[in-house]
Structure formats: C-alpha cells, structure tokens
Structure 1
C-alpha cells in the first residue's frame, strides 16, 4: 500500500508529454533509492485500449499478463526497466463496468448508486491497493475535460482523507511561443491552473512544456499567478532525444524538491542512466498503414532508437500497391532494411507483400512482426511455391490456399476486446538457426497479440527443420503454433509471430533489433 503519492495532471492541450515526464521522474526517483510504482489513469470509457484505432490513439501496448494498454505503459516499461501489469492502468470503462455489475448483483443494498461516493470510492480503492511505497499517478487527458473530472475528484478526496503532506501534485502545461510578437504566452497556463484550483487541487510543481526555452520573467509570472514558489516551476523545452529528460530533471534537482515536499529519504550520488546519445545514419523503412501518428508504431520506433539508429521512416504500404516490381525496387532501394509490423484489416496488405518480395529477392535485411511474419508466408507461397491466390482468411475467406487461418480457439469467440492470444507465451527456439544465435537459449517467453496463425500442417511443403535441404522456410521458433521463420542464405530474413518491441528497455533493446542492425552493418561493410 502506498504511503506517498505523486499525481500528474495535464493542462492547455493533450499530447504534451505527461507520460514521458512521469516515466522520467519515476526513473530518477528509482535511481535515488525510492520504492516507486506507477499508475496510468485513462478517462475513456473503453475497458482497455485493445479495440482502439492506432491512427487515433497510437499503438496498443501489451503487458506480460496479457493486458492491452495505452502506449504510456510502454514509456513506463522502457524508462523504469520493469514489466507493467494490468494493475498499472485504470480506465473509466473498468470502473463503471465494475460498479454496474455490483449494482445488478444487489451489493449496494438498495442505495442510489452515484458518482460520489460510489465511483470515487472505487477509484480510490484501486489506487490505495497498488504496491510500492510511493505511487506516481498520471491522469490522462486535460484538466477541464468532462470525462476526467471524476478522477480528479477522487484524488482530491484521497488527499483530504489521508494527509495532504503525503501528496505531491504536478501540473504539466504548455506555453506557446508567438513568433509574430516574439513572446511566450502564459495565459493558457494560468487559466489551466485556475481550473485545477476550482476543482480543489493546488499544484505543488508546475512543469512547463514549450517549443523553446522560456525566459525567467515568464516563468516568474507563471509562479506568481499559480501560487507556486518560483523554484517549483520547471521548464522542459522540446528536445530531440526524450531519454535525456531524466538527466535534465536530475541536474535540476527535481528529485530533491519531491523528496523535501513528501518527506522521503533519498540517496546521494550520480545518476546511473545510460541511453544512446549518437545514432547511426542507417535508413530503415517501416512498411505501415497507420499514418495518422508516429505513435501507431511507437514501440518499434523506440526499439530502433534504443539500438542506436536514427528514427525509421514510415512508408505507406498502400502507396506500394500501386507500383510494379520496378517501382517498388526504386522506392525501397535507398533503405538499408525493412520492417513489416503488425496490424489488422486488408488495406495495404498487397503493398506489404510486394515489399517482402523485394527484400527476399534482393537480399535486403527484413524483419516481419506478427502480421508481418504471416505475410512473409503468403508471399513465399505465391511467388516460390506457385500457390496462386494464397492468402489469409482474414483478407480473403474464399482463398484457395489459406496459408494463414484463424486459430481454432478463436473461431468460437464473439467479442473482440481482450480475446486474442495475448501476453507472454513460452516458445521453443530451434538450434542451428539465426534465431537461436540471437537468443542463445532454447526456451523464451515473448508477448503476443494475434488471432490468426500460419498453417504449417496443411502447407508443410513450404517449411523445413534446421539442417534439412531445399529452398524453404526454416522453422526457427515454435510452440503449439509457428512462432518464427527464417530463410537460409539471406543476410536477415526473419519473421516472428510475437512482438519483440514490447520488451525493449533503455540500455537493453530487444536483441532481435540489435541483430537486425548488425546485419545492416555486415551488408554495408
């Protein structure tokens, strides 16, 4: 049960980096000896993020215990170097569905079920039963949003019921810069703090996000109008490497401000924080279909970044569909490697298959993840095995060659949310394969998120075991399903059914990405 609480709220606009700040502060506190845990609160009515469109909300991050979470849990895992669970996320959908179920079961003994006290009590119960002595709570959305008010009320009540001195409220806001008048405008931040104070919460620290460093006069104005000491107003301007933020917070002494306010002991000493500071200029193409935001492929992008390579370029798979083989080659020849990520739906599928064909025939390093591995099997069936029209039943139910089909256990499931093969699953890595050289062990656990599988039984002629002859896919990983395939004689042609990107951490990116980079280096040497 937590003894101290850090509550992070956001103001002015969404997407200003509350999650990155919360993860960074938590990492700094962990480094100075604080037993800290994290909790992300999402005000949306979805039970989890599993059914959300990545174009609107960013990627769905999957935990070891099979929970489909908001991408901020990915930030927490990467920064803190620990695995999150379903307990590290609360949604309004979870809270309300629990309360409605209890009401239907008659557990409120005839009471009128209300937002206060029943909803707020459920929220407080979930908060106070989290492990760790210090709990950092990030409340999603922006102060002033209707859907977030009940969560703000719950933490206000909690601070009142316990001890206000055990709570630290951090408000993250944005200060725009008007180039026309050459000045920062602090009024939106002032109004945001006023909204928070009307709810009954007085912030202790204000973190000011901005495009450029803010002048001291503007920061003093924010402190004055917000009723916060000037040393508790911290400016975090945009930077190119978000993994630098823990260092910035440490050098600014934010951990000391937090420790003093909450009355907790911390260790002295240097920050043990190792992250990539220079990046190899390799060009990696991410052949995707969710182009609305980079967050749609956040964990893959960060895995490459943490491997010491510049940010990959997202290439529109749908655009490749309109090109012939020469056009695809011209489009992709400037890249050092390709990644085919996971996804759902048929849009852009043929473009991804064309990219796989190009990489296979031209010995371009390529990594297929989840759907990417399935499309590798489809491309091979069509263009090597001569199975014209081979496909997945997800995209063509009447395909004559259903190389990829829905898992048997999935065919009886009606609901979409939380019903896929999810979370950490054990698999065997076969000796004599590149994948075994990557892991150097026979049993590993990797995180999954899929409904479909490659049918290795019906299409066994496409596959072989390590050491067997012929130009076929080598099965390099398996469980009760096909887990990984690769092609011999290719610098790097590996497809995996699981999602290695979910397990990358700062200082420890998943080894499969490191091996992809090594293959690029060998090809370019």
Structure 2
C-alpha cells in the first residue's frame, strides 16, 4: 500500500509548494523509493486550458493529452516520472463529474452534498492508479483559509482516517517574514496558519518555513512549541540560487529524513544525490555564456514560458554554458529600428508558441532577421507556423501568405486542422466549437527524413512529442515553401501533418509544431535544446 504525503500552504500563495513537493519526491527517489506527485487545484475551471497565461502561467501538457497546472512540469523535471491525466484534478472536474452522475440518476434519489459526495470523489482521485508506488505526494493548491480549498482539506483529513495515521504525513509550507525595521523574523503568521489548519482537523507533522534570512535556533524552538511539532520537524527553506539546488538544500536541512521518521521508517543510508550535485556545479561554474532572445507575446510573466525557460537552462547544462534569456515583446518589433537594436546582440532567437494575432508581425520580422542574418533560430508551435508564413512571403513570393487563426485569408499557409488520427481514433473539429480540451493534445509520433538536420539532432527517424494546437501548416504550400529552401523534414506517420521544417542552408534553423520543452529535464536535456544552445555557442564565437 502506498504511503501519502499531503502538502498544504499557509500565510500567502507562491511559497513554492510545487518545488518543495518535487524536491521531496526527488530525494525519496534518490533513496530508492517509487514516487508519484499529484496536484489538487481548487478553482472551478475544468482545467487551465482556457485560462490566460497571465492568470495561471503556462499550461503543461502530458503524454496522454491532459492540460494541467505548471507544477506538473516541476514534478516531471525533478523525478523523470511522466505525469498523467490522473495527476491533476480541479474542483471543476470534480463537480462536472458529480453533476453528470446526478443527472443520470446514479445517486438513486439521494441529496448530493459536499460531504460525502465531493470529498469521496477527491479521495477516489487521490487513490487511483497508485499500485506499485511507495509514496504518493499530494499538493493542495491555494492557501489554507481559502473557501474554495475547504473540500480538499476535508477530504485529506478523512483520507488519513481511512488509510491509517501510519500511512500519511501532513507537511505545511508557511512564511516566516523578515521585518527589516525590527531586524527580526516573525513566527506569528506561521502560528496562525497552523492554528487555522488545526481548526479544520489537520495537525501538521512537519513545517517547511520559507524565509529570506537564516532561521535562528530560538525561532525554530518557538515555532515547534506553539505549533505542536518536534523542533527537528521545523525545516527552514531559504531562497536558493537555482531551483536545481533546492533538493540539495532541503536534504541538508533534513526534510527527507524527517518525513521518513514521521512514517516510522529508519532513514538508512544517505540518498545518492550525485546527479544533482553535478547539475548545480555546471550551473555555478559555466565555461561560457550565451544570450537567447525569446520573442513572445506573454513576456511580462516568465511563468507563461516556464518549461521553455527551463529547457534552455538544460541546454546550457548540456553545453557547460550559462544561458541568459532575454524576454522580448514581439509587438515592439513592428518597428525595424527596434528589431535590429534588440536582436543584433542575440546569439540565438526563439519564437515560442502562443495564441492570437497580437505581436504576430513582430514575430515574423524576427524570423526574417534570423534567416537573413544567419542567427540560430528555433520556432515552436506558432513559431514554426510563422516561420512558414515568413518563408512564403519573403522567399516563395506569396505576398499575402497568412494564417486563418488571424482571420480569413486568400493564402492560408496555416489553417484550422479539421481532423486527425489519435490513439482513440479519428478526431474532428469545427471552427465554431468549444475551445476547452479540443486541440490536438498530447504525444503523437512523427517520422523524420533520414538525411535531415532534425534526424541528426535526435539520432533517430522516429520520435514522439507533445502537442497543443488547433492550426497546422497547409501541405498544399509545401512545394512552394521547399522551393524557397524551407524543407519539411518531419511529418506525421500518414504524411498529412507537418511536424518539423528546417533550412539546410542555414547554420541552424528549425521549426517544430510540437512543444519539445515539455519533455526536457536537467539530467536529460531535450536534443533540440541541446543542439540549439550548441549552435548559440558557435554563434557567440563569431560575434
């Protein structure tokens, strides 16, 4: 039977519960345990697929096609365990499921209530597909005291009683703020947060205390006394120089040891953290530095491109260089002077995915700059589509080339994908349909041309990558685009959907319809990002 670790947060949001959960899972994994991490999100959206990146950050997509919280990206990057649909649940999904059952009459006339029906559904989710696991870590989104998280708190309280106290541990992440005027760390917010949690029936076993200053021994003892936990179970969590230093930092503070002790497990030998030490060493001692310009639409909030940023860092780790990411608003590149001023210092240019017309002309101008100046270029999803539009307009002579995503056009180089084959069979979509959950989502295979740049990067001609899009490059324009030097080097197995385009006569120019950043890990950088950063290193030696 799997043991459960429930992770809650208090005082304020954005304390790093997701990173803490990922780090703890990595530490347990390094001790030889099998782990899985799950996220409970209290919002009423069914999933984040229709939410603005400014509201929620990036949407992380799993192999099986779930649109999920960005924390699942941390879980995968730190453990290497592929996330699944069953690893992220929202209040919206819970209520949608319950109301559907009620409409069918499945409750046989019973009054449907939060307790037991909603809490039972949450418990079933927490316990689904947990065979052959040693630990299941469940992160509760939001902050203790939020009205929307109450059913989840109640559900995990009940679940402890269902599975036995010996099989569950509660970890509460709180803030210990530093008041500069007083020159003191204040423990009162943590005390109040624990009191709030206790009033809901949950006594935490461990406290992870986020703080900007070292937590003195006296304050640790005070927190332990007032919050009814052992002093050793008060774990300081200071800001780290890199998120990849966090597992080492938590281990040094005894987090994994205390969790095992809370379960009554003797910790035994120390975990093997050599790969984390090597990653941190490469980050701290780079042999060079490159600058990558990311020309996007949501650059005001880096979390909108979280996986992308981390994949670039991973490419730097693989090449032993520091990657500095310059976030560039695509809208300003509709001015040619700004374009040159901003992009000339870049060693590589990346145009990421996105939705909508805003900034598209600036992105197209960035593609043209990279093509004409021989600067390494990577286009992802919309970035690949706009690379095809740019090639059509400026090389193939199709002046009015565009995408139907931005409105009707006489030259639809990119258009709405009406149907495609998936593991579930033929998928069909109409222009006026629902937006949520209707894109081409999840992992799909692609076949690469054997003599292509893409095949040499992957070292294979058959790959599988994750998708999230509803528009595709129109293969009716393939001949025109290829006559202009933009080669279709990767296609769906049936040859109908373009997956990769490249310019063989360019130092490094690749566009991909999928999102390779979603599968990159610090200890296993994605081949495309490894090669892209390597090209940036070569470029840095030329300028």
TM normalised by structure 2 equals 0.92
In 2, the alpha carbon distance for the partners of 1:149 and 1:496 equals 42
CA shift in 2, pair 1:10/1:268, >3 Å: same
- Range that drifts further, 295-304 or 40-49: 40-49
In 1, the alpha carbon distance for the partners of 2:2 and 2:432 equals 42
SS of residue in 1 equivalent to 2:476: coil
Aligned to 1:439: 458
Out of 295, 302, 317, the position equivalent to 1:294 is 302
- Range that drifts further, 261-270 or 380-389: 261-270
Aligned to 2:536: 520
- Unaligned stretches of 5+ residues in structure 1: 464-469
Aligned to 2:243: 242
Where does 1:353-502 land on structure 2 (aligned, <5 Å)?
353-397=364-408, 399-409=409-419, 410-411=429-430, 414-463=433-482, 471-479=484-492, 480-502=496-518
Aligned to 1:348: 359
Deviations 1:182-206 (A, max 9, x none): 2112222111111101101011110
**Structure 1 consecutive aligned stretches of length 4 or more whose deviation exceeds 3 Å:** 264-267
In 1, the alpha carbon distance for the partners of 2:48 and 2:164 equals 33
Aligned to 2:273: 271
SS of residue in 1 equivalent to 2:383: helix
- Range that drifts further, 228-237 or 305-314: 305-314
In 1, the alpha carbon distance for the partners of 2:388 and 2:381 equals 11
2:45 corresponds to 1:46: yes
The alpha carbon displacement at 1:311 in A equals: 4.2
2:343 corresponds to 1:332: yes
SS of residue in 2 equivalent to 1:290: coil
SS of residue in 2 equivalent to 1:119: helix
2:81 corresponds to 1:79: no
In 2, the alpha carbon distance for the partners of 1:273 and 1:341 equals 29
Out of 300, 312, 326, the position equivalent to 2:325 is 312
Aligned to 1:467: none
In 2, the alpha carbon distance for the partners of 1:162 and 1:208 equals 27
Would the aligned equivalents of 1:250 and 1:271 in 2 still touch at CA under 8 Å? no
Would the aligned equivalents of 1:33 and 1:266 in 2 still touch at CA under 8 Å? no
Deviations 1:90-109 (A, max 9, x none): 11111111111111111111
Q: Pairwise CA RMSD of aligned residues?
A: 1.5
- Range that drifts further, 192-201 or 388-397: 388-397
- Range that drifts further, 306-315 or 64-73: 306-315
Deviations 1:22-51 (A, max 9, x none): 000001001102222211111111111111
Aligned to 1:96: 95
Q: How many residues align?
A: 515
The alpha carbon displacement at 1:211 in A equals: 2.2
SS of residue in 1 equivalent to 2:327: strand
The alpha carbon displacement at 1:267 in A equals: 5.2
Aligned to 2:523: 507
SS of residue in 2 equivalent to 1:282: strand
Aligned to 1:105: 104
Deviations 1:81-133 (A, max 9, x none): 12111011111111111111111111111111000011111111111223123
Would the aligned equivalents of 2:332 and 2:339 in 1 still touch at CA under 8 Å? no
In 2, the alpha carbon distance for the partners of 1:229 and 1:502 equals 39
In 1, the alpha carbon distance for the partners of 2:52 and 2:226 equals 39
Would the aligned equivalents of 1:421 and 1:451 in 2 still touch at CA under 8 Å? yes
Would the aligned equivalents of 1:486 and 1:493 in 2 still touch at CA under 8 Å? yes
Deviations 1:385-416 (A, max 9, x none): 2222211011131x221111001223266111
SS of residue in 1 equivalent to 2:350: strand
Would the aligned equivalents of 1:43 and 1:141 in 2 still touch at CA under 8 Å? yes
In 2, the alpha carbon distance for the partners of 1:281 and 1:213 equals 31
In 2, the alpha carbon distance for the partners of 1:440 and 1:36 equals 30
CA shift in 2, pair 1:267/1:371, >3 Å: farther
In 2, the alpha carbon distance for the partners of 1:186 and 1:98 equals 41
In 1, the alpha carbon distance for the partners of 2:342 and 2:372 equals 15
In 2, the alpha carbon distance for the partners of 1:56 and 1:362 equals 36
Would the aligned equivalents of 2:485 and 2:505 in 1 still touch at CA under 8 Å? no
Would the aligned equivalents of 1:55 and 1:291 in 2 still touch at CA under 8 Å? no
Aligned to 2:426: none
In 1, the alpha carbon distance for the partners of 2:226 and 2:353 equals 48
- Range that drifts further, 359-368 or 156-165: 156-165
Would the aligned equivalents of 1:56 and 1:292 in 2 still touch at CA under 8 Å? no
CA shift in 2, pair 1:413/1:135, >3 Å: farther
In 1, the alpha carbon distance for the partners of 2:162 and 2:259 equals 21
- Range that drifts further, 17-26 or 126-135: 126-135
Deviations 1:306-352 (A, max 9, x none): 2223341211111222x12x431111111111110000011111111
Would the aligned equivalents of 2:209 and 2:235 in 1 still touch at CA under 8 Å? yes
- Range that drifts further, 80-89 or 454-463: 454-463
